[in-house]
Amino acid sequence: QSALTQPASVSGSPGQSITISCTGTSGDIGTFKLVSWYQFHPGAGPKLIIYEVNKRPSGVSDRFSASKSGNTASLTISGLQAEDEADYFCCSYAGFATVIFGGGTKVTVL
Amino acid sequence: QVQLQESGPGLVKPSETLSLTCNVSGVSVTNDTYYWSWIRQPPGRGLEWIGYIYYTETTGSNPSLKSRVTISLDTSKNHFSLKLTSVTAADTAVYYCARFPAGSRWFFDLWGRGTSVTVSS
């Protein structure tokens, strides 16, 4: 299993929208509707922000949205805010009761 | 309020066994709604899923680590544990415990804050 591919960094100005891609294979993202996204703030426990491709847990801002097409999933943050500055990781079910994560993307709010 | 908290030594010698515990509060580890999992992040790298355990003691693990990983439950203490044998510097990482819902849903809805483990002599 190779890690899902994410850009190392993405940046945007407050109010803008940014999109983080997460590329896998036909053995994970391409087959299963089981992509999730996590936000990591330094010093805090990781937080689930998207599950099952595009569902938001209760309490997560609707500025976070996600989708997938083929072997690539995407997370969009709209109306970027300073508090969105964090690391973001994607994750996909990869069959045979295993999961695989991405390498992570550092989001910087300029 | 449900919380997960990792504990264990921060320093392990090469070739020895890394042992960590995840203390669970607010929900029983025997709750059939959840699986319990370990995930790690080596310095400067992405996340790596290690494995899981269910209340039935069914386990699963990352094929790349399978031969070295043991995950167990202690229902009397409401915690679950990770043992990783024959560690090397490559096992240096922040280790997280997390839970995911049963029913083949495969997302981690609650995490601990993580504990840093360094493998060094």
Task: Give the mean pLDDT of B15-25.
Answer: 98
Interface test with A, best of B35, B47, B59 (most A CBs within 10 A): B47
Q: What is the pLDDT of residues B35-79, one digit of tens each?
A: 999 999 999 999 999 999 999 999 999 999 989 999 999 999 999
Percent of chain B with pLDDT over 70: 100
Query: Cβ of B47 and A89 within 8 Å?
Result: yes
Tell me what the mean pLDDT of segment A69-83 comes to: 97
Tell me, what's the pLDDT at A1? 64
**B109-118 residue pLDDT tens:** 999 999 999 9
Across residues A43-71, what is the average pLDDT? 96
pLDDT score at A2 = 74
Q: If interface means Cβ-Cβ distance under 8 Å, which residues of chain B face chain A?
A: 4, 39, 45-49, 52, 60, 62-64, 96, 98, 104-114
Q: What distance in Å separates the CA atoms of residue B108 and residue A109, rounded to the nearest whole number?
A: 26
Is it the case that residue A74 has pLDDT exceeding 80?
Answer: yes
* Cα gap B2→B26, rounded to integer Å: 4
Average pLDDT over residues B28-36: 96
Q: Which residue of B has its CA nearest to A43?
A: B113
DSSP characters for chain A? Answer: -PPBB--SEEEE-TT--EEEEEE--TTTTTT-S-EEEEEE-TTS--EEEEBTTTBPPTTS-TTEEEEEETTEEEEEE-S--GGG-EEEEEEEE-STT-EEEB--EEEEE-
**Residue position matching structure tokens 């981690």:** B108
- Verify whether the Cβ–Cβ distance B49 to A46 is below 8 Å: no
Residues of A within 8 A of B96 (CB-CB) are 45-46
Q: Do A1 and B111 touch (CB under 8 A)?
A: no
Give residue A54's identity as a one-letter amino acid code: N
Instruction: State pLDDT tens for residues A24-56.
Output: 999 999 999 999 999 999 888 899 999 999 999
**What average pLDDT does the structure give for chain B?**
96
In this model, does residue A87 exceed pLDDT 90?
A: yes
Strands B34-41 and B93-101: antiparallel
Rounded average pLDDT over B19-28: 97
pLDDT value of position B57:
95
